[in-house]
Structure formats: structure tokens, C-alpha cells
Amino acid sequence: MASFGFYQRTASAPHVEERAGCSSRCLPVIQAHRRTRAHGARGVATATERPRLMPQRISAASTDVVCFDDSHDTKGRQAAAAPPAVDKVGVLLLNLGGPETLDDVKPFLFNLFADPEIIRLPQAAQFLQPFLATIISTLRAPKSAEGYKAIGGGSPLRKITDDQASALAEALKTKGQAANVYVGMRYWHPYTEEALEHIKRDGVTRLVILPLYPQFSISTSGSSLRLLESLFKSDLALKQLRHTVIPSWYQRRGYVCAMADLIVQELRKFNEVPSVEVFFSAHGVPKSYVEEAGDPYKEEMEECVRLIMEEVRARGFANSHTLAYQSRVGPAEWLKPYTDDSIRELGQRGVKSLLAVPISFVSEHIETLEEIDMEYRELAMESGIRHWGRVPALNTNTAFIDDLADAVLEALPYVGCLAGPTDSLVPLGDLEMLLQAYDRERRALPSPVVMWEWGWTKSAETWNGRIAMLAIIIILVLEASSGQSILKNLIWAQ
Ligand SMILES: C=CC1=C(C)c2cc3[nH]c(cc4nc(cc5[nH]c(cc1n2)c(C)c5CCC(=O)O)C(CCC(=O)O)=C4C)c(C)c3C=C
Ligand SMILES: [Fe+2]
């Protein structure tokens, strides 16, 4: 029997519903397949090097599904596909987390910059990560805190994600599937570790892991999945927990239609609808993530925008559109075009009406409420744009939550097919397989943030970076000469 590693929607999957008013055909895309084409040796096929999981491609209706053939289990164990006697379904929503008060900003930033998926140092320098995270979070905190202050003193992310979890549980119940929905944040409360404790305590037997990022990036979903991978590895109860991961879902019909609904709704508010530029602003990532580590984020983002615009056009709106990337941190090159440059350029080209569409995240957060609504709006006005609109984040949008519930239902049949009570393959198999497909080599990348913005100009940034590097070298020299761990003392004295 073939068993499924990680799940993607297929045209023939159960619970696929046609929704009235949505005319796009969602592409049943299997990212891993595309990764193999796009990144050669980094693709799924390379997982054949691993001893026990052998992926196969089978054709399911109009798409491909990546599967594992259990005949390659070297111990000859059979896949456990049937649900256990006591079946308790759980859904784990993964998200970034955000500081709830201004006092939380610095420790939140520390957690973020201590993440090796955000600052990826070479192996030999990894011991410096907590130290660097301390420096960077300390330098960044005042600027970040200003942003959080402007939106009411903290991130709304926890509340919105909790609301999404409740709405999803309710939607699943309406569809006949009882499930506990848990929230696991990467950098703030409730941490992923806490969510896993609840999952264990509640006796969940089948778990669907759903990152709340429509598009996959090494720095977001990838980071959360890496964390889960290591937590699963070190905990026997979790090793036995059967799970599946929905790695990205930007191509789902329900999501695409929900986004198109919101865009059309906001477009209609303009006087001169046909002349409005639909301006997609995605959170950026450093260019090296895409070009050197094979992050599929850019490709998925472009395809996502194409699908949404196809749907908007199918509804009779022939507006032109732009995709740009915002929220660059530090002076390294990030994905281009940058949102601020694009807004200026559109102004120069004589665009007078602009509708901003946040696209990489499904909740309101600091970068929609402060960066887009305040900074970019002001920039647009300075650039000659006269009419401004912004599409709200999906939050608990009914069509969106309904589609997430469908995604969970479609994924459930594929949960834990490789499970075995004493076998570590199930959690590791799914997560590991997925992570190998996306970021197999985990090569060191130029840090996006070491050279820091400590002033207002590019040269100030450069000098700040140099000062930070010099400080590190001095500390290393002092450590080497004194034989004492100055770094350790500094970090634990926090
Ligand atoms: C898909 C979305 C996101 C990607 C990709 C991403 C990459 C990424 N982010 C940073 C640095 C920071 N991110 C911060 C906040 C933040 N980031 C995202 C999403 C993505 N990040 C969200 C939703 C939020 C806001 C959370 C909230 O509180 O509401 C911050 C802190 C805020 C600030 O100071 O700007 C930093 C710093 C890097 C370096 C990176 C890729 C390497
Ligand atoms: Fe970010």
C-alpha cells in the first residue's frame, strides 16, 4: 500500500466543493514537484538518498501527489493507515506571534533573531547566534516599539489567530468533523512548545499541521516546521503522533476567491474603478534565500498573484497590477521591487489611484496597520497618488475559514500513513521530507541583519554594522586571551 508523506490538494480529493461566484480554476500545484524541476538536486527526488522513505509520484486526476512507498521501510513494517481505536483529531495552526505589550518587543525580537532560519550563520559561528540576537534586538527594539506604539501598544496577532482557531473549529464541526484547534507561535506566546503540550495532554491521535502563511518561505513556515521537527525528534509521545503538513495553500480556490472578493469589494469604492492600480505588497525576504537556498517563496508569491488577478479579471475588472516587496530589514539585498520604490515609480507614471493588497499574511499586523496604512499611504500621497485604498486582511473571513476547514478535511485521510508505534518515521518522515524538498542543504546565507540600521542613512547602517562586527571580534579576542566566557556572562546577565 502506498502511503502519503505530505498532502497537497488534488482535483480528486474528498470534500472539494465548487463555490458559486468563483470562476477561477485553482491550480492543483504540487510544490515539491516544481521544486525538483526548479532546483535540481534540491528537489524531492533527492530524498531517495535517505534510507527509509522513498517518494514516488503517482498521478491523481490532473495532478501529482508525492507519496512514500512503505515497502522501503528497511525494518519491513507496514504502514498504519487505519485510524486508531480512539480517534482524536487536532489541527495545529502555526504562526509567527507578536509582542503583546511594548515590554515584550525586545524579547520578541531576541527570539526572532535567535532563529537560525532568520539569521543563518556558518556552522563554526553558530555559537554567536544568541549574542548577535542580543545586539540586534537591542538595536532594533526602539524602532520596532515605535511601530507597535502607533498601532495601540502591541501586536493584534494573538487575538486574531485565536479567533481564527475558534472559527476553524466551528467550521469543521459544521462539516461533521470534531477537532481541537491549537495555536503554536514561533516567537511569542503561545509558543509552539506550549501547543504541543496541550496536544499531548488532550490525547490527540491525528494531527494536521497548518502554517498560517499562504506561501511557503524558509523564514516562516520553514522555521516553524524545523522547530517541530526537532521537538518531535526529542519526545517519544510526539514521535508516535501521526500527522501531516499542509505546506502552503495559496493556490486553493477558496483562498483565491476570498482574496478576489475583498479586492473587488474595495475596488468598487473608487470613483474611477478602471484606472485603479491593484498593488500587491508582500513581505520581503533576502534575495539570497531564493537564489542560494532555493526558497520557493517568490515563485509561489508570483503564482498566487497571478491566480488572484485571473479571478478578479474573470469578474469583469481589467485593472493593471503590481507586485512589490515590503519590510526589508538591514542593508542586504531583498526581493525586488521594493514597495517604496514601486509606489514612487507609479506616482511618476501618473497613477492617481492605488489599492494596496497585503498578500503574504492572513491577519492584520504591524506591517499592514503601520507600514502600509501609515508609511506607504503617506509616501503614495507624496508621490502624487490621490486616491488610496487598502484591502483588509482575511482574519476570520467566512469563505476563507471555510476553505481552511476544507483543506484540513482533505488532508485528514493522509495523516500518518507511515506511523508505527515505535517508529520515529511518522513525524520525522513528513516534516523532514518536506523540509528536504525546500531547503535541503541549509547552507549558510549572508545575514540580512548583521549590518544594522542604527541611524538614518545607508552609511550609518554600514558603520553600525562595522561597529557591531568589531565588538564581536574584540569579545572573541578577550575570551581567547582571558579564558573566560564573556559572551555567556553577557547573555545570561540579561
Ligand atoms: C510571510 C511573511 C513573513 C516573512 C517572509 C518574514 C520574513 C522575515 N522577517 C524578518 C524580520 C522581522 N519580521 C517582523 C515582524 C513580522 N514579520 C512577519 C511576517 C514575515 N516575516 C509578520 C506578520 C510580522 C509582524 C508580527 C506582529 O507583531 O504583528 C519583525 C518585527 C517588527 C519589526 O521590527 O519590523 C522583524 C524584525 C526577517 C529578517 C525575515 C526574513 C529573513
Ligand atoms: Fe518578518
ipTM score of complex = 0.93
Which ligand ends up closest to the CA of 223? 1
Determine the topology of domain 253-390 in CATH. Answer: Rossmann fold (3.40.50)
- Measured distance CA(138)–CA(239) in Å, rounded: 37
Question: Has residue 37 got a pLDDT over 90?
Answer: no
Q: Which amino acid is residue 125, in one-letter code? A: A
Ligand 2 centre to CA of 283 (Å) is 7
Determine the topology of domain 3-96+155-250+397-439 in CATH. Answer: Rossmann fold (3.40.50)
Residue 4: how many CB atoms within 10 A of its CB? 22
Q: State the pLDDT confidence band at 492, using cuts at 50, 70 and 90.
A: very low
Long-range interactions of 118-126: CB distance < 8 A, separation 24+: 118/219, 118/223, 118/448, 118/449, 119/447, 119/448, 119/449, 119/450, 120/293, 120/442, 120/443, 120/444, 120/445, 120/447, 121/444, 121/447, 122/444, 123/444
Question: Has residue 139 got a pLDDT over 90?
Answer: yes
Q: How far is CA 61 from CA 12, 154, 438, in A?
A: 6, 47, 25
pLDDT of residue 354: 98
Looking at the chain, the whole-number percentage of residues with pLDDT higher than 70 is: 67
User: What residues line ligand 1, using a CB cutoff of 6 Å?
Assistant: 96, 98, 109, 112, 118, 140, 144, 155, 157, 213, 217, 219-220, 283, 285-286, 329, 360-361, 365-367, 448-449
Ligand 1 nearest-atom number relative to CA 156: 29
Which ligand ends up closest to the CA of 214? 1
User: Mean pLDDT across the stretch 72-83?
Assistant: 41
CA-nearest residue for atom 26, ligand 1, is 98
pLDDT of residue 460: 45
In a mutational test of the pocket of ligand 1, which residue from 104, 299, 329, 445 has the highest number of ligand atoms less than 8 Å from its CB?
329
pLDDT of residue 95: 98
CA-nearest residue for atom 41, ligand 1, is 285
Largest CA distance in the chain: 72
CA-nearest residue for atom 42, ligand 1, is 118
Q: To the nearest 10°, report the CA torsion of 93, 258, 339, 314.
A: 150
Query: What integer best gives the mean pLDDT of the chain?
Result: 78
CA-nearest residue for atom 3, ligand 1, is 283
Backbone angles phi, psi at 312, to 5 degrees: -60, -45
Which ligand ends up closest to the CA of 155? 1
pLDDT of residue 415: 80
User: Mean pLDDT across the stretch 296-304?
Assistant: 95
Question: Has residue 165 got a pLDDT over 60?
Answer: yes
Backbone angles phi, psi at 436, to 5 degrees: -65, -35
pLDDT of residue 301: 97
Ligand 1 centre to CA of 263 (Å) is 24
Is 426:418 a contact under the CB 8 Å cutoff? yes
Ligand 1 nearest-atom number relative to CA 289: 42
User: Mean pLDDT across the stretch 223-227?
Assistant: 92
pLDDT of residue 13: 35
Ligand 1 nearest-atom number relative to CA 108: 31
pLDDT of residue 1: 28
Cis bond before residue 190 (omega within 30° of 0): yes
Q: State the pLDDT confidence band at 150, using cuts at 50, 70 and 90.
A: very high
Question: Has residue 420 got a pLDDT over 90?
Answer: no
Q: State the pLDDT confidence band at 91, using cuts at 50, 70 and 90.
A: very high
Of 26 and 438, the structure prediction assigns the larger pLDDT to 438
Question: Has residue 76 got a pLDDT over 50?
Answer: no
User: Mean pLDDT across the stretch 263-270?
Assistant: 98
Of 172 and 28, the structure prediction assigns the larger pLDDT to 172
Ligand 2 centre to CA of 96 (Å) is 8
Give me Rg for the CA atoms of the chain.
23
Among 441, 417, 442, 433, smallest CA distance to 44 is for 433
Angle at 201 between CA 199 and CA 203, to 5 degrees: 70
Among 273, 84, 103, 100, smallest CA distance to 185 is for 100
Ligand 2 centre to CA of 112 (Å) is 9
Is 199:92 a contact under the CB 8 Å cutoff? yes
Ligand 1 nearest-atom number relative to CA 448: 39
In a mutational test of the pocket of ligand 1, which residue from 93, 94, 96, 185 has the highest number of ligand atoms less than 8 Å from its CB?
96
Ligand 2 centre to CA of 330 (Å) is 12
Q: State the pLDDT confidence band at 472, using cuts at 50, 70 and 90.
A: low
Residue 189 CB burial class (10 angstroms; 0-12, 13-18, ≥19)? middle
Distance in Å from the first CA to the final CA of the chain: 54
Of 363 and 429, the structure prediction assigns the larger pLDDT to 363
pLDDT of residue 291: 93
Ligand 2 centre to CA of 329 (Å) is 9
CA-nearest residue for atom 38, ligand 1, is 118
Ligand 1 centre to CA of 42 (Å) is 26
pLDDT of residue 94: 98
- Measured distance CA(479)–CA(62) in Å, rounded: 61
In a mutational test of the pocket of ligand 1, which residue from 367, 369, 394, 450 has the highest number of ligand atoms less than 8 Å from its CB?
367
Which ligand ends up closest to the CA of 145? 1
CA-nearest residue for atom 20, ligand 1, is 283
pLDDT of residue 271: 97
Ligand 1 nearest-atom number relative to CA 157: 29
Which ligand ends up closest to the CA of 161? 1
